[in-house]
Structure 1
Amino acid sequence: MKKKIFALIALLACFVTILSGCQSSTSSESVAKQANTVDTWSHIKKRGRVIIGLDDTFVPMGFRKKNGDLVGYDIDLAKAVFKQYGIKVDFQPIDWNMKETELRNRTIDLIWNGYTITPARQKQIAFSRPYMANRQILVTKKKQNINSFAGMKDKTLGVQTSSSGASLLDEHPKMLKDYIKNQSPVMYDSFNNALMDLDANRIQGLLIDSVYAGYYIKHEKDPDSYQMTTGGFDGEDFAVGMRKGDKTMKRKIDNAFQNLSNNGQLKKINEKWFGTDDNSLVKPEK
């Protein structure tokens, strides 16, 4: 009889522990969800700095020079935006696969690194106005004689994990994915590693952002050895990602973009990194 009573007590204790864990988990999720609805501008203004999450290997948007200094188009643009509000910018390298989680957990305030607007991302976070046009292209070596997406038939394709290119590959398989070897790409943490594998012929093609590809190839020893193929994917826009509650942040960034365009600073930043202002989506007000 005692054994049965002890067993019953143990069973009840387990049930209470499980119930408590479920309530704790639900409570944590509720707190996280509520935190993402808070407008944090006044806190950031008081703190005097904003934390931006980025992939510090994404040339030319944000990357490391040989001496370790962080430079890039988005670095210059972010600094110019927050200078208008007297706020310093801290850049935090993150695992790009965890970018939305980092934002949701408030370890960063913004995702700003050639970040593409997509319907899936819009469900989770808010975006600034778009500031640059981009598209996904196929990069190959000319010696492979691959001049179209169909030319990748039974060949190995590389793509960055959690990139907009990876999403497009899955969303429109008939355009490219169905052609490649095993209908499955090789996934990379960074484009740098993927491009090294392309040069070594470990992969025969790379789906990559046109802004990255154009800058990288231009600065290679033999740029003529590369082939860039547009294919059929639609163009896309870069914007700044933020939590849903940060409505003031969005308004401040959007206004700053327009101010930089009106006073000519945005054009200077564009020409510094791309040699042209053609891809800019923010034009001076007339």
Structure 2
Amino acid sequence: MKRSIVVLLSLVLVSASLFAAGTKEQAPGVDNSLQKIMDKGTIVMGLDDNFPPMGFRDEKGELVGFDVDLAKEAMKRLGVELKLQAIDWNAKEQELNTGNIDCIWNGFTITPERQEAMTFTPAYIHNAQVVVVRDDSPYTTLASLSGKTVGYQAGSSASNAIDDTPEFKQSVKSFVEFKENLTGLMDLEIGGIDALVVDVTVAEDNIKRSGKPFRILEEELAPEDYGIGFRKGEQKLADAVWQQLEAMAADGTLARISTKWFGSDITVVAK
């Protein structure tokens, strides 16, 4: 009889321990995302390291960019250490969901499909998908690219913009996927493709920095917004980061960082 009681008490203690361990992670319906980051003291930001000016490697191989500067300041104010993790942009959702990174912050376009899969902050920058061509090419409109070869970055919102412009998509002879936008721009320069669909922020920065003979068609494919993506349901963490951006907007830090990278304040926080 005593042995049975001891065994029963042992099972109760084990069950209680397992329950406590489970609740420490995250019970269903409970959002402890912010507390987990605060307890850990670090947050891992996933980014494409070939996406200037949002995030890229400088001549020393260090990760720099507009989003990098924003994240550094926001996490400093939040009181946690920022760790930058370059990822394969085509596998960004998997990197987030498996816990390899804690957020995606790198010119990350908010789309209905992505909102179904993760939690986003509000938009902090307006963007657009545009078409870049060589300056000496005869192309001036989307229609003029009929029968031509057009490139875009795999896993990017450029593919959504193309899908959402069926007349343009059907008129193009073929599409070429690139792992990175910079690779696509290099292929455009040597004539491997006739045009590249890319974020206007990236296109303008590349033309300005490189001095390459590119131009942007006036006709846009789609307007879009940049946000910060977190795992689905991690609203408290998303809200805490957004509060830091709002504070940065209020004291002029956001405008200063934007001017550093874009020449003016193009952010839309608290506007």
TM range (shorter): 0.7 to 0.9
> What is the match of residue 177 of structure 1?
169
Give 1:248 shift: 1.1
1:85-121 CA-to-partner distances (Å, cap 9, x unmatched) read: 2111101111111111111111110000000000111
Greater share of strand = 2
Match of 1:92 among 85, 103, 122: 85
Matched, 1:282 2:260: no
The AA in structure 2 aligned to 1:177 is K
> What is the match of residue 77 of structure 1?
70
Mapped to 2, the partners of 1:233 and 1:193 lie a distance apart of 21
Give 1:154 shift: 1.2
Mapped to 2, the partners of 1:34 and 1:108 lie a distance apart of 21
What is the TM-score when the length of structure 1 is the normalising length? Answer: 0.82
> What is the match of residue 206 of structure 2?
216
1:57-101 CA-to-partner distances (Å, cap 9, x unmatched) read: 001000001210110000000011111121111011111111111
Give 1:232 shift: 4.4
Check 1:71–1:35 CA distance in 2 against 1; reply closer, same or farther (3 A cut).
farther
Check 1:199–1:259 CA distance in 2 against 1; reply closer, same or farther (3 A cut).
same
Asked if the contact 2:131/2:221 (under 8 Å) is kept, the reply is: no
The 3-state SS of whatever aligns with 1:111 is strand
The 3-state SS of whatever aligns with 2:126 is strand
Correspondence list, 1:128-143, <5 A: 128-143=121-136
Mapped to 2, the partners of 1:96 and 1:39 lie a distance apart of 27
Correspondence list, 1:29-44, <5 A: 38-44=31-37
> What is the match of residue 45 of structure 1?
38
Match of 2:214 among 206, 215, 226: 226
1:153-198 CA-to-partner distances (Å, cap 9, x unmatched) read: 1111000001111112123221x212211xx310000011101000
1:113-152 CA-to-partner distances (Å, cap 9, x unmatched) read: 0000001111100101110010000000121111100111
Check 1:198–1:216 CA distance in 2 against 1; reply closer, same or farther (3 A cut).
same
Asked if the contact 2:31/2:235 (under 8 Å) is kept, the reply is: no
Correspondence list, 1:179-258, <5 A: 179-181=171-173, 184-222=174-212, 225-258=213-246
Give 1:39 shift: 2.9
Between the aligned residues of both structures, percent identity stands at 35
What is the TM-score when the length of structure 2 is the normalising length? Answer: 0.87
Q: How many residue pairs are counted as aligned between the two chains?
A: 247
The 3-state SS of whatever aligns with 2:166 is coil
Asked if the contact 2:123/2:268 (under 8 Å) is kept, the reply is: yes
Consecutive unaligned residues of structure 2, counting only runs of 5 or more, are 1-25
Give 1:231 shift: 2.1
> What is the match of residue 94 of structure 2?
101
Matched, 1:259 2:255: no
Check 1:180–1:35 CA distance in 2 against 1; reply closer, same or farther (3 A cut).
farther
Asked if the contact 2:130/2:222 (under 8 Å) is kept, the reply is: no
